[in-house]
């Protein structure tokens, strides 16, 4: 459990909660269970819980087949996928990984404040862009609220962004750092509580520029991506990356950035807005700038 603050030390985390079992939430649950934690994932419905369970089983099965873990079954035994938020009462760290919608996240943090019993428990958000302050101030313990932004796919990418608000305590930040680095094996960087943090504040304008280029007919999606892969040694082109992130998430992050900074480079292009309206969200929907099986 999280104790030892009086001595200036932070002990290990045993019990982790994750709210949301989508790609990000399932990934956070997986890496936590692979680190030996007892993990509870809370989903919004029985159907969503079944999808989350299937997502975990598939990912861990792939990891076992590649020799990255000894037993998928052993890791799965440490994960429970439930639909009752009250099941998070005894958690030491809870990570919110629901839809990138400010109102939904604010309401969830109000509820987590009531549900999670330990006053020193870390309440974290995996938001890509929403200011952590807005989530912390709706709780009675903003000092325990922090952004811990993982990257997709969570089991593969080692980076996390630690985002304390002005009210987050140093102890909470150090607990989050110790958990993510020492137990999960991630590499943490520190970010100010500004929309987009570090990575998305740089990445999203780049992706939006590529979308504008395709929208204007300057070049095809394939040629834009090929140009960056072959000409700039990027592992993936910006439009394929947007499909991986999800065009709805890309749009939501762009809107958060534009709302905060009012810079034209953050404004979502009309093509992105129309694609999201049409349900062309990228890999998650089977079609975005590319088509997926």
Pair 43, 83: CB distance under 8 Å: yes
- Pick from 192, 133, 190, 135: nearest CA to 160: 190
189 forms beta bridges with 161
Query: For residue 80, what is the enclosing H or E element?
Result: strand 79-82
Pair 129, 252: CB distance under 8 Å: yes
CA–CA dist 171, 144 (Å, integer):
9
CA–CA dist 77, 5 (Å, integer):
31
CA–CA dist 60, 65 (Å, integer):
9
Query: So which residues are the catalytic ones?
Result: 128, 149, 161, 200
User: Can you read off the two tokens belonging to residue 37?
Assistant: 């934690």
CA distances from 118 to 92, 121, 140, 144, 179 (A): 7, 5, 12, 11, 17
């Amino acid at each position: 459990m999280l104790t030892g603050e009086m001595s200036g030390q932070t002990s290990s985390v045993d019990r982790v909660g994750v709210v949301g079992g989508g790609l990000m939430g399932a990934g956070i649950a997986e890496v936590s269970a692979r680190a030996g934690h007892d993990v509870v994932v809370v989903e919004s419905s029985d159907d969503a819980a079944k999808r989350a369970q299937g997502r975990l089983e598939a990912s861990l099965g792939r990891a076992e087949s590649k020799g990255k873990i000894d037993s998928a079954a052993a890791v799965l035994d440490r994960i429970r996928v439930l639909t009752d938020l009250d099941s998070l009462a005894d958690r030491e760290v809870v990570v919110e990984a629901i839809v990138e919608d400010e109102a939904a996240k604010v309401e969830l943090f109000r509820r987590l404040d009531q549900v999670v019993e330990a006053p020193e428990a870390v309440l974290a958000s995996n938001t890509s862009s929403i200011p952590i302050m807005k989530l912390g101030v709706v709780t009675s313990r903003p000092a325990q609220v922090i952004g811990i932004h993982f990257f997709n796919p969570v089991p593969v990418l080692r980076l996390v962004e630690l985002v304390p608000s002005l009210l987050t305590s140093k102890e909470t930040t150090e607990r989050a750092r110790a958990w993510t680095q020492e137990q999960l094996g991630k590499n943490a960087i520190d970010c100010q509580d500004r929309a987009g943090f570090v990575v998305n504040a740089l990445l999203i304008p780049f992706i939006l520029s590529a979308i504008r280029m395709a929208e204007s007919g300057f070049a095809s999606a394939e040629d834009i991506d090929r140009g960056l892969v072959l000409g700039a040694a990027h592992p993936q082109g910006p439009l394929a990356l947007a499909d991986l992130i999800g065009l709805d998430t890309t749009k939501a992050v762009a809107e958060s950035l534009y709302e905060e900074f009012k810079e034209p480079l953050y404004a979502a292009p009309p093509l992105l807005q129309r694609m999201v309206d049409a349900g062309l969200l990228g890999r998650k929907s089977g079609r975005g700038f590319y088509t997926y099986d």
